Amino acid sequence: MKNLKKASMLTGILALLFVAVTAICCFAAGEDAEAVPKFYSTFWALVPPIIAIGLALITKEVYSSLFIGILVGGLFAADFKPVTALDKILNNGLIEAVSGTAGIFIFLVILGIIVALVNKAGGSAAFGNWAKTHIKTRAGAIIATFVLGVLIFIDDYFNCLTVGSVMRPVTDSHKISRAKLAYLIDATAAPICMIAPISSWAAAVSSYAPEGEGIALFIKAIPYNFYSVLTLGFIIAIALMKLDYGPMKLHERNAVENGDLYTCGDKAEVPEEQPSSKGKVIDLVLPIIVLIAICVVALIYNGGFFAGSSFIDAFSNTDATVGLPWGGILALLFTMIYLVARRVITFKEAMDCIPKGFNAMVPAILILTFATSLKNMTGLLGADVYVEGLMKYAAEGLVAFLPAVIFVVACLLAFATGTSWGTFGILIPIVTAMFDAGDPIFIIGISACLAGAVCGDHCSPISDTTIMSSAGGQCNHINHVSTQLPYAITVAVISFVSYIIAGFVKNIYIALPAAFAIMIITLFVIKAVTKEKKA
């Protein structure tokens, strides 16, 4: 009894001490919560994402790597004051990440549910059987995936998950690894959105451009967007040449020879229940078409199209985090009613697909939350201000080399922060201030900024597009990152050389053919170097 009383008293004293210390620390933190961190606008602002990316690639474990990056960023932003750091991690990091991307989370879950419904109804299995008879080769499956990715140019989030859900049965039947599928999804998401005048990306770029010049400037920049254009050509080239290299080669060989689509790491998909035998191809195709159509209408509705705005202005003013969930919910209701009415699934089976769809998207949601929190930490540390200073310093060098310099800076910033929108949001105002609007190199500089943002975003493990490409392909995230990096870096190096050429010739009819010629020559060299000698 005495021991119990002593334990209770000790617990009470410790609790009071904890409350008192916490209150004092929080009060102290409140006094300097707005103080500028010592590491603000220095190279240290980029260290947290560098740590997270490095750990993810070394340990092959993404959750702990991202969390450590967030922790380091919080400590830097709080000048190593633990309580203040905790406040910034929770409020400025995790809570803002969840609230800021809640619409995308909803859209992810909705797409997960639609995929579960279509799978249960047998639509995916029926499409897979159809594809086996119509798509005869692995190259054909790769090209078909590429074409679908190009057709869905409205939004990269929508692209990633839709292409993945539609093409998985096709690529699986032709023994294409999940890593290759994830690459195909990622390579036709942001790159195609960045060269499509009617897309959420065009709208975002327009919002950062000088007033009244948004869409016109975006369209003028398309031909010089070497990374996006070359990436699309790269996919077709490696498919026709039957070329794979780097870690992707191991994954593809394992898929072809052993039927193992994963090679290593955890399997991102959950074994499905036996699908309905009544399913038809239309049970997959119709819900996807309805989803696309309703999402487009929802996006322009959110942008004010039905209130009198033009189609282009509606896309410029829309918010994908609102429009996509709108469209997703309506498409989900249609899919449920349609499949139940067709009697391929029962109402109870349709309801059972709701938690299954949510569970399938939990890994993507967790990674997206952590990645967004890490971006918020770099924002608190003034990474954008630091990069702006670097750009102004670079402007003092040779003007002809500036597009190549801008491309590299945009790549590094997008890679470290995981955001292409944030990158061109930072750099476009700087680039517009660096050049005369009438100078041809102005357009080349803008294109280099946009291309570099896409490239860095494409390569970054903490990019939301990269994360959702892994989810769309149901591929282990680290496998996706490690296998796509050599491909993305190849195109990035060619793009860098192309911007040097463009900076001097200032003529797209010379620069773009030269870029494609360099790419084809590079691929033939890589094929010759990586060719295995027969015993």
**pLDDT for the residue 316:** 64
Give percent of the chain with pLDDT exceeding 90.
26
- Average the pLDDT over each of 39-48, 360-369, 374-383 and give the range with the smallest value: 360-369
Q: For residue 226, what pLDDT is reported? A: 96
CB 407 within 8 Å of CB 496: yes
d(Cα 214, Cα 205) in Å, to the nearest integer?
7
SS3 assignment for 221-251: HCCCCHHHHHHHHHHHHHHHHCCCCCHHHHH
Q: Which of the pair, 131 or 5, is modelled with greater confidence?
A: 131
Give the confidence band of 492 by pLDDT, cuts at 50, 70, 90: very high
Q: What is the pLDDT of residue 278?
A: 82
Q: What is the pLDDT of residues 91-120, one digit of tens each?
A: 888 888 888 777 778 877 887 788 788 888
pLDDT tens digits, one per residue of 216-251: 778 788 999 999 999 999 999 999 999 999 999 999
* pLDDT score at 424: 75
In this prediction, residues 501-524 reach a mean pLDDT of 94
Confidence of residue 502 (pLDDT cuts 50, 70, 90): very high
State the pLDDT at residue 24: 40
pLDDT at 513: 95
Output the pLDDT for position 215. Answer: 64
Most confident by average pLDDT, 28-37, 250-259, 317-326, 480-489: 480-489
User: What pLDDT score does 487 carry?
Assistant: 96
Radius of gyration of the chain (CA): 25
Residue 533's pLDDT band, with cuts at 50, 70 and 90, is low
- The pLDDT of residue 30 is 45
Query: Three-class SS string for 157-201?
Result: HHHHHHHHHHHHHHHHHCCCCHHHHHHHHHHCCHHHHCCCCCCHH
Mean pLDDT, range 179-185, rounded to an integer: 94
3-state secondary structure of 229: helix
**Global pTM?**
0.70
According to the model, what pLDDT value does residue 395 have?
57
Higher pLDDT among residues 447 and 367, named by residue: 447
Token pair listed for 29: 């933190």
Which pLDDT does position 2 carry in this prediction? 45
Summarised one tens digit per residue, pLDDT across range 376-418 is 888 888 877 777 676 666 555 566 788 998 899 889 888 887 7
The encoded tokens of residue 391 equal: 């750009």
Q: Which of 35-44, 341-350, 432-441 has the highest mean pLDDT?
A: 341-350
What are the residues whose beta carbons fall under 8 Å from the beta carbon of 204, sequence distance 6 or more? 421, 424, 425
Q: How far apart are CA 360 and CA 354, in angstroms?
A: 10
In this model, does residue 430 exceed pLDDT 80? no
Instruction: Tell me the mean pLDDT in the region 274-285.
Output: 80
CA–CA separation, 525 and 234 (whole Å): 14
What pLDDT shows up at residue 498? Answer: 96
* pLDDT at residue 294 greater than cutoff 80: yes
**Which pLDDT belongs to residue 20?**
42
For residues 68 and 51, the answer to whether their CB atoms sit within 8 Å is yes
- As given in the structure block, the two tokens for residue 395 are 């402007």
Region 295-314: what's the mean pLDDT?
82
Span 29-40, average pLDDT: 65
> Quick one: pLDDT at residue 303?
81
pLDDT average, residue stretch 177-185:
93
Task: Please state which of the ranges 124-128, 225-229, 306-310, 372-376 shows the lowest mean pLDDT.
Answer: 124-128
Range with the poorest average pLDDT among 17-31, 143-157, 229-243: 17-31
Q: What is the pLDDT of residue 11?
A: 41
Q: Which residue has the higher pLDDT, 134 or 199?
A: 134
Amino acid residing at 161: L
**Rounded distance, CA 220 to CA 437, Å?**
12
pLDDT tier, 496 (very low <50, low <70, confident <90, very high otherwise): very high
Q: Are 427 and 457 in contact (CB under 8 A)?
A: no
